[in-house]
Amino acid sequence: MLLKYCPLLLLAQFLIAAASPTNLRLPESGVPLQKELERQAKAETINLLNSLFRSQIAYFTEVKAALNPQTKRSQHINLYITRLNAAIEETDMDEKNKKWMEIFDEFSASPLLINREAETGLTDLQYKQILTGQKLKDISAKFVTDVADYFWKITKLSGRVVSNELSNADQS
């Protein structure tokens, strides 16, 4: 069940990159409104990335709580959570995107979602129940809502950018 959410994360990564403020930028017009709209788009993108990071932290904190802290998997989760927290703390948009890509690549290559009894101390059934519990469903639903809200806000901002550029063109 959890694996069906991995494509959602990949899609979100692609969509965030496609709608990042640098892709919304129109030719420099020197109009303060244009800069403000770009600032708002950047802030919304940062908020969405931070929401994604917090959702992953919440999820993996829940998974880790079911594990013996001495297991290898618990230690891997600690490292993953540390990297997610560092990404939240990053304020530069390019660096935040870079950290997101690194974390995503690391996540896709990691065994965090695969049970190796020696690393988790749990049977396959126990680990599956932890990974696919209600917490995952709640976090996934919140993330989908956050993504939808983000794209609604970015769409509105994009419309304002285009409207502003058209107004400037009419005044010329």
pLDDT tens-digit map of 20-64: 555 545 445 556 777 888 888 888 889 988 988 998 898 899 899
Helix, strand, coil percentages, rounded to 5, for the chain: 80, 0, 20
- Domain tally, the chain: 1
Report yes or no on 41 lying in a domain.
Answer: no
Lowest-pLDDT range of 91-95, 141-145, 157-161: 157-161
Q: Which of 16, 40, 15, 12 is nearest to 164 (CA)?
A: 40
Full-model pTM: 0.72
What number is the average pLDDT over the span 130-159? 85
Domain limits at 70? 47-162
> What span, in angstroms and rounded, lies between the C-alpha atoms of 172 and 170?
5
